[in-house]
């Protein structure tokens, strides 16, 4: 049974450079979903300021997957006091991410030993503790470490999970399975990493 979005929950887009980053606020908790472009912490700071969200109120952050345009300034945010939530599926990809970075990217390497590891199966209880009725759902397709955040309201943050219209043959099966899982769990509105918010595609 799905609930309407509680009045206390707000979703604000603080994205830049065609990528969406979302601040979810519930009471005094603020969760940042997707963590900026690599080397561009200043741009994220500026967007937060523009939207009147104090950086030091971002208590927790989560990346839908560890690519440079979704988790690029995770460590910079951690250095400002944000706790980084990761699922076990994502841990190997965090270490792998630095291989793709060039010196000119100004990537701040993510520390591996001080993150909050939350298994998908335990995510509902963990997120409830932060004030969010939600869960993490492992949604591979675009990458093995892709994890979506699904709110009980039906809003789902999917990162780069490929839109069904643009799926290529080699990823078709696994990506379609991820979309099916999200639909079965009650997802209705898709907050993708790029582009506007849209209803989930019909099966």
Q: Angle at the Cα of 149 (from 143 to 151), degrees rounded to 5?
A: 155
Among the candidate windows 44-52, 61-69, 93-101, 125-133, which touches Zn ion by CB under 5 A?
A: 61-69
What is the C-alpha separation between 98 and 162, in angstroms, rounded? Answer: 23
Indicate the residue among 96 and 125 with the shorter CB distance to Zn ion: 96
Length of the chain in terms of residues written: 203
Among the candidate windows 8-16, 104-112, 148-156, 157-165, which touches Zn ion by CB under 5 A?
A: 157-165
Indicate the residue among 83 and 194 with the shorter CB distance to Zn ion: 194
- Count of residues touching Zn ion (by CB under 5 A): 2
Backbone angles phi, psi at 10, to 5 degrees: -125, 150
* CA proximity to 145, closest of 81, 92, 108: 92
Among the candidate windows 1-9, 64-72, 85-93, 111-119, which touches Zn ion by CB under 5 A?
A: 64-72
| 34, 106, 122, 146 from 109: Cα distances, Å | 16, 9, 27, 20
Indicate the residue among 67 and 138 with the shorter CB distance to Zn ion: 67
What is the C-alpha separation between 190 and 148, in angstroms, rounded? Answer: 10
| 36, 137, 158, 173 from 62: Cα distances, Å | 11, 13, 12, 26
Specify the DSSP element, H or E, that contains 78. Answer: helix 74-79
Site string for Zn ion, 103-142 (x = CB under 5 A): ----------------------------------------
Which DSSP state fits 2? P
Among the candidate windows 114-122, 128-136, 154-162, 178-186, which touches Zn ion by CB under 5 A?
A: 154-162
Contact pick of 35, 53, 63, 67 for Zn ion (by CB under 5 A):
67
Q: How far is the CB of 179 from Zn ion (least distance, A)?
A: 16
Q: How far is the CB of 30 from Zn ion (least distance, A)?
A: 24
Does position 160 interact with Zn ion (CB under 5 A)? The reply is yes
Q: How far is the CB of 46 from Zn ion (least distance, A)?
A: 23
The first and second tokens of residue 80, run together, are 């400002």
Q: Residue number with the shortest CB distance to Zn ion? A: 67
What is the C-alpha separation between 14 and 120, in angstroms, rounded? Answer: 25
- State the residues that interact with Zn ion by CB under 5 A: 67, 160
């Amino acid at each position: 049974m799905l609930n309407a979005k509680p009045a206390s929950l707000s979703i604000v887009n603080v994205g830049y450079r065609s990528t969406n980053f979302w601040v979810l606020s519930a009471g005094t908790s603020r969760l940042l979903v997707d963590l900026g472009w690599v080397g561009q912490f200043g741009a994220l700071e500026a967007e937060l300021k523009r939207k009147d969200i104090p950086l030091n109120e971002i208590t927790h952050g989560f990346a839908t997957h560890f690519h440079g345009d979704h988790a690029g300034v995770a460590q910079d945010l951690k250095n400002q006091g944000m706790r980084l939530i990761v699922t076990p599926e994502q841990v190997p990809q965090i270490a792998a991410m630095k291989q793709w970075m060039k010196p000119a990217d100004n990537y701040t390497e993510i520390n591996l030993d001080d993150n909050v590891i939350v298994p998908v199966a335990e995510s509902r209880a963990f997120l409830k503790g932060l004030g969010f009725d939600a869960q993490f759902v492992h949604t591979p397709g675009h990458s093995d470490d892709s994890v979506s955040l699904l709110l009980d309201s039906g809003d789902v943050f999917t990162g780069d999970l490929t839109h069904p219209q643009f799926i290529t043959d080699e990823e078709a099966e696994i990506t379609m399975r991820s979309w099916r899982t999200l639909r079965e769990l009650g997802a209705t509105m898709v907050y993708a990493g790029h582009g506007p918010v849209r209803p989930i595609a019909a099966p």
